């Protein structure tokens, strides 16, 4: 098979559709002003559509579809760039015209973008709400196909001090030991922890074991004077806060209410 070349990259002009004959033309047959690479060079990446940027990464289309049409098809299939970033490697290879090589190029580029975005965030993010927690945890679970249990350590103002993955694989919640959950937090003299795990099935609904474990950790944290601020269940598509649902934090809330009564 001949190596891929610039000739293989084709783009659709703004006023044409995927079904047009020009959708399959070689890049040399397009006006220079409409070629993705030349447009990026001359105008900058901000002037390109998401499909054009994706086409530069993919490099080639198929006999039936131009590379831009292929890129647009991927975006439509996965619900935009965000959905594509969350899609698993094998999911992407199931799309017609996208093999392992293209999927690898795509996932590598998206990961670079994720790391670049993460590097611009404050060195010590702060967790003030369940929304903050969900946004902070997204990168840790976005491509996770196995169950994972994570502990995020927080200071007195709920700035992130560090995080540690305790379990990965088939997760038996009854086997999650409080001593392991709090060990690093106690060593680092942290005031609070946030715990999270994922449901690869896609359903964030907490199980009875999830709720029981949360209650157990909350009680253990009170003895150690380390607050459990929340337990988040993550999926690729959504996240659920047990504290917001009042699951596993009932006893803590009741004690707080009693303490507030003069």
Q: What is the mean pLDDT of residues 34-51?
A: 85
* 231 compared with 46, residue with greater pLDDT: 231
Q: What is the pLDDT of residues 83-121, one digit of tens each?
A: 888 888 999 999 999 999 999 999 998 888 877 776 665
Classified as helix, coil or strand, 191 is coil
Instruction: Provide the number of structural domains found in the chain.
Output: 2
* pLDDT at residue number 231: 96
Residue 68 domain-assigned (yes or no): yes
* pLDDT at residue number 69: 86
Q: What is the pLDDT of residues 138-168, one digit of tens each?
A: 888 877 788 899 999 999 999 999 999 988 8
Q: Are residues 83 and 142 in the same domain?
A: no
Residue 125 domain-assigned (yes or no): no
| pLDDT surpasses 50 at 32 | yes
Residue 224 domain-assigned (yes or no): yes
| pLDDT surpasses 90 at 193 | yes
Q: Are residues 76 and 151 in the same domain?
A: no
Residue 1 domain-assigned (yes or no): no
* pLDDT at residue number 83: 83
Q: What percent of the chain has pLDDT over 90?
A: 42
* pLDDT at residue number 15: 37
Q: Are residues 43 and 20 in the same domain?
A: yes
* pLDDT at residue number 211: 94
| pLDDT surpasses 60 at 131 | yes
Q: Are residues 147 and 216 in the same domain?
A: yes
Instruction: Please tell me the least confidently modeled range out of 5-14, 48-57, 210-219, 226-235.
Output: 5-14
Q: State the residue range of the domain holding 178.
A: 130-260
Is the alpha carbon torsion for 241, 133, 54, 5 positive or negative? negative
* pLDDT at residue number 181: 92
Helices (H) and strands (E) in the chain, counts: 11, 5
Q: Are residues 89 and 204 in the same domain?
A: no
* DSSP H or E segment with residue 168: strand 160-168
Q: What is the pLDDT of residues 61-89, one digit of tens each?
A: 888 888 888 889 999 998 888 888 888 89
Q: Are residues 255 and 134 in the same domain?
A: yes
The CATH number covering residue 218 comes to: 3.40.140.10
Q: Are residues 138 and 62 in the same domain?
A: no
Residue 225 domain-assigned (yes or no): yes
How distant, in Å, are the alpha carbons of 116, 175, 215 from that of 178? 35, 9, 11
Comparing C-alpha atoms, which of 240, 238, 242 is closest to residue 229? Answer: 242
């Amino acid at each position: 098979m001949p190596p891929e070349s610039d000739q293989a990259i084709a783009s659709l002009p703004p006023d044409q559709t995927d079904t047009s004959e020009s959708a399959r033309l070689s890049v040399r047959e397009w006006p220079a002003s409409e070629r993705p690479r030349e447009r990026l060079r001359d105008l900058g990446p901000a002037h390109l559509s998401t499909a054009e940027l994706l086409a530069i990464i993919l490099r080639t289309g198929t006999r039936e579809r131009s590379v831009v049409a292929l890129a647009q098809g991927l975006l439509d299939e996965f619900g935009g760039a965000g959905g594509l970033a969350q899609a698993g490697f094998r999911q992407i290879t199931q799309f017609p015209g996208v093999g392992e090589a293209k999927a690898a190029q795509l996932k590598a580029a998206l990961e670079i973008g994720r790391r670049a975005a993460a590097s611009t965030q404050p060195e010590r993010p702060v967790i003030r709400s369940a929304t903050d927690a969900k946004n902070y945890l997204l990168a840790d679970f976005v491509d996770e196909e196995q169950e994972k249990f994570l502990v995020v350590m927080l200071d007195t103002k709920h700035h992130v001090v560090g995080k540690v993955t305790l379990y990965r694989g088939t997760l038996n919640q009854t086997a999650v030991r409080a001593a392991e959950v709090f060990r690093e937090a106690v060593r680092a003299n942290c005031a609070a922890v946030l715990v999270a795990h994922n449901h690869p099935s896609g359903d964030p609904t907490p199980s009875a074991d999830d709720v029981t474990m949360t209650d157990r950790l909350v009680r253990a944290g009170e003895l150690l004077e380390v607050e459990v601020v929340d337990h988040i269940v993550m999926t690729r598509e959504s996240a659920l806060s047990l504290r917001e649902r009042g699951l596993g934090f009932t006893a803590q809330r009741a004690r707080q209410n009693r303490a507030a009564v003069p």
